[in-house]
Structure 1
Amino acid sequence: MIPSCRALTVVAFLSLISSLSIAATGGGGSGAAPAKTHDYPTEGRVEYVLGCMEDNGREFANVYKCSCAIDRIAKVLPYDDFVEQSTFSKYATLGGEGGAEFRVDRAKAQTKKFRELQKDAFRACGIQAAAAAK
C-alpha cells in the first residue's frame, strides 16, 4: 500500500516542526544556552500551525510564519494556559446556551489576553494584520 500524498505531507511537516523546535531550543549543538520557552507538545504546536495556516493562507511560507507565532506564544505562556485561553478565544462567539460558559467575565478576560498575545506574535512573525483580526 502506497501512503497518500497528504500522509507524506503531514510526516514531512512534523519532521520540519521537530527540527525547528530543536533549533529554537539550542539543541543543535551550538553550545549556547537554550532560550527560555515553555514545553509545548509537538502535537499542540502542529495543531496551532495548521489552524493558523487555515486562517491565513496555505502558502508554504506560512509554515514558518505560523511556527514563529506559536514559538513566540510559547515563550510567555505555559501550555495549560495556552490551551485554556485559545479555547476561550475560539468559542467566544458560540451562541446559545452551550456558549454561555465562554461569555462569563473570566472567559472574556482570557480571550482578550490570548488575542492580544496572538496579535503581537502575528505582527512579529509577518502574518498580515487583516488575518490577525479574524
Structure 2
Amino acid sequence: MNTQSIIVPKLSTVPAHEARSRAILRWLVREKVVEEQLTTCGRTGNRMGHALAAGARKVALHPDKLPFGEPVNGLEVMLKRCIYTPTEGFLEEAGCPECRREVGEPLFESLEEWMPAVSDNFTCPL
C-alpha cells in the first residue's frame, strides 16, 4: 500500500525556514533516518528525495511497514508554499482544513491571498 505523510508547520511563514529545514535534515541524516545524498526516491516534481536509512526503524511506529526497497520511499523537503493534491482518489473537492467540510469554490478564492504570501492566515471562508 502506498502511503504518504505530510508534516507542515501551523504557521504559514516560519522565520528562517530554510535554515531550520537544513538543521532538521542534518539531524535526520546524523540519526541515520534518511540518507544524505538525494536520489530519485521521491514522489513529486523531479522525484528527488532523501531515501530511508536503517535508523528510520528506530523512530517509526510500525518499522515493519516502512517502504524499504520500494522505488518511492524518500523524504522530500518543500520550502515554498504549496497545496497538496492527491494523485489518486481525488474527488476535486476543496475542504476546510479545520472543520473538514467541503467548501468548494470559495475556498480556492481565499487561497488567492495565501498562496503569494499576501496573508499568513489561511481561514475558512465559511
How does the TM-score come out when normalised to structure 1?
A: 0.23
Higher share of residues assigned helix? 1
More strand by share: 2
- Normalization by structure 2: what TM-score? 0.24
